Amino acid sequence: MRFGWTGGIFTIAMGTLAFGAAMSAHAAGDAQQGEQKFYTCLGCHGIEGYRNAYPDYDVPRLRHQHAAALVAALKEYRTGERPHSTMHAQASSLSDQDLADIAAYLQGPDPVKPTPPTGAAPAMVATCAACHGENGLGVDAPLEPKPPILAGQHADYLEQALAAYRNGRRKNAVMSAMAKGIASDADLKKLAEYYAGQHSPLVTATVGSR
């Protein structure tokens, strides 16, 4: 792999990651409880093609996302490290046990099977791949925080997420450093489209989906 465009930034980003051995004990989730607790989320996340308003973009797909990544994201909405007023209210009304249950339900029982990357990767993917894989499904190393699956996510959601890391609205230290290394809006859009176009287990978490 080559990290020419952003070697320094990459080192900083990797420095803020810990490996799994040092991982804090996470609450074990109960998927059956999680299914019931997810009921209030269906109005947005359970509807194919549902969109956020102002700004307009697709609500993210959650079914088969890594449980650890879902919990990490929800905690960031709770603390405000990710800004979104509805998601802040939703995450603040849930206990850590609720988050673990919902995440266990959404991830489901099947492990994600690796698939080969598809399409021409923009040069910067060489850097992203250290954590997200070239196929957007992640890497074997037990990284903490757990990087989310990007493959098959809505391109416009990935694009707005990257823009939010880059302009400081999302405060995650790892991704802020990475996104600041993306030179232009056009490069940012290409990365979002590349990862959205990869083979993926991610789908909309409609009622009863498994």
Chain residues binding ligand HEC by CB under 6 A are: 13-14, 17, 40-41, 43-45, 52, 59-60, 62, 70, 72-74, 76, 82, 84, 86-87, 90, 102, 124, 127-128, 130-132, 145, 147-148, 150, 153, 158, 160-162, 170, 172, 174-175, 178, 182, 191
Pull the structure tokens for residue 33: 């409880």
Shortest Å, Cβ 210 to ligand HEC? 17
Q: Compare residues 52 and 115 and give the one whose CB is closer to ligand HEC.
A: 52
CA 162-52-81 angle, 5° bins: 45
Alpha carbons 187 and 6: distance in angstroms, whole number: 14
Report, in Å, the least distance between residue 127 CB and ligand HEC: 5
Nearer to ligand HEC, 104 or 124 (CB): 124
Question: Nearest distance from residue 157's CB to ligand HEC, in Å?
Answer: 7
Q: Rounded to an integer, what distance in angstroms lies between the CA atom of residue 149 and that of residue 136?
A: 6
Name the CA radius of gyration of the chain, rounded: 16
Instruction: Enumerate residues 6+ apart whose C-beta is below 8 A from 3.
Output: 10, 126, 127
Closer residue to ligand HEC, CB minimum distance, 16 or 114? 16
The token pair that represents 130 in the structure block: 């250290």
Backbone dihedral angles phi then psi of residue 70, each to the nearest 5 degrees:
-65, -45
What is the closest distance, in whole angstroms, from the C-beta atom of residue 68 to ligand HEC in the complex?
A: 10
Residue 72 or 113 having the CB closest to ligand HEC: 72
Q: In this complex, which beta carbon is closest to ligand HEC, that of residue 55 or of residue 111?
A: 55
- 198: Cα separation from own chain's centroid: 14
Minimum gap (Å) between residue 141 Cβ and ligand HEC: 10
Least CB distance from residue 190 to ligand HEC, whole Å? 9
Cβ atoms of residues 173 and 51 within 8 Å = no
Contact criterion met (CB below 8 Å) for 63 and 108: yes
